[in-house]
């Protein structure tokens, strides 16, 4: 009774000061008017009652120009975005709903709620389960179809050059190698040819090559090659007294091949253009054709790795 009378008297003498009771929002802000406090208190109590949970009541505190809300061991600044009653209610409501969102987002809480309701956490749909990916299994590095093969590789052949007026038929081994660069085959060539009769003459070719199609493309039946490099001719017209000459050479060839997997059998016809006269002289001149022709037949070992 004394406390109630004292509180009432205090409220009449100092309208900005209201006794803090356990059932009301505590008021420790001298500049908070009685009307504002009553509105604030009623709205906060109604909000907490609606939530239906036992929570300690907040306290409104101000000091000089600052004001804040102390609630459940936390400090919330009142920054003056609106009336003090509206801002306090917004803080309380935001804190209550924020706690609900954190609880709902907790996987353990969701699992416990589902178990209590007798509901499974995951419900199987009507569709079939997807096929799990193959683990630890790599694609075959070799292509199964010629169109998927990388191409390129090594060719070996026997090349025969047609005779000139002073040099007989020359034949010998040739080696071609190339790697695929997109649709093209880029590589090189070495070839050796020796005369079969007449004067002893040897030819040696060292060339770069640019090709397309057979025989190093397993998906192609026909192909073509363009080569450029140097050609040496070495002659022994008188015993061991050898003579040699070298000229630049340009070659254009056509190819036809049949593929048997990693190996292709092929044949070719090449036109050889010697950009300078190729000749040596001792007792007589030995002169190669300025434009010659060669026939080749051989095998190719093709790269069948995937593109």
* Domain residue spans of the chain: 2-107, 149-302
pTM for the predicted model, two decimal places: 0.53
Q: What is the mean pLDDT of residues 280-298?
A: 88
Q: 10 Å Cβ neighbour count for 121?
A: 10
Instruction: Flag whether pLDDT at 2 surpasses 80.
Output: no
Q: What is the pLDDT of residues 162-221, one digit of tens each?
A: 999 989 999 999 999 999 998 899 999 999 999 998 888 999 999 999 999 999 999 999
pLDDT for position 13: 36
SS in 3 state form for 249-263?
EEEEEEEEEEEECCE
Evaluate whether 210 touches 181 at the Cβ level (below 8 Å): no
State the fold for domain 149-302.
Answer: Porin (2.40.160)
Provide the token pair at 55.
Answer: 């929570």
Residue 107 has pLDDT above 80, yes or no: no
């Amino acid at each position: 009774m004394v406390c109630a009378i004292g509180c009432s008297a205090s409220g009449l003498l100092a309208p900005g000061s209201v006794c803090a009771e356990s059932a009301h929002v505590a008021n420790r802000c001298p500049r908070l008017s009685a009307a504002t406090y009553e509105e604030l208190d009623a709205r906060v109590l109604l909000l907490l009652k609606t939530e239906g949970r036992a929570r300690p009541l907040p306290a409104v505190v101000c000091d000089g120009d600052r004001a804040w809300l102390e609630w459940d061991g936390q400090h919330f600044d009142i920054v003056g975005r609106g009336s003090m009653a509206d801002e306090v209610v917004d803080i309380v409501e935001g804190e209550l709903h924020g706690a609900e969102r954190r609880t709902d987002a907790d996987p353990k809480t969701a699992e416990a709620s589902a178990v209590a309701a007798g509901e499974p956490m995951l419900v199987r749909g009507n569709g079939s389960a997807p096929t799990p990916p193959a683990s630890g299994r790599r694609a075959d590095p070799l292509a199964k179809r010629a169109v998927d093969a990388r191409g390129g590789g090594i060719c070996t052949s026997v090349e025969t050059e047609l005779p000139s007026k002073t040099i007989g038929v020359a034949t010998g081994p040739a080696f071609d190698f190339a790697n695929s660069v997109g649709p093209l085959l880029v590589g090189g060539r070495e070839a050796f040819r020796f005369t079969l009769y007449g004067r002893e003459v040897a030819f040696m070719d060292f060339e770069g090559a640019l090709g397309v199609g057979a025989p190093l493309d397993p998906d192609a039946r026909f192909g073509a090659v363009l080569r450029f490099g140097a050609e040496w001719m070495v002659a022994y017209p008188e015993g061991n007294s050898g003579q040699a000459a070298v000229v630049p050479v340009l070659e254009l060839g056509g190819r036809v091949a049949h593929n048997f997997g990693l190996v292709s059998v092929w044949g070719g016809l090449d036109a050889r253009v010697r950009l300078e006269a190729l000749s040596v002289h001792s007792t007589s001149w030995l002169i190669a054709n300025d434009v010659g022709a060669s026939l080749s037949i051989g095998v190719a070992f093709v790269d069948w790795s995937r593109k």
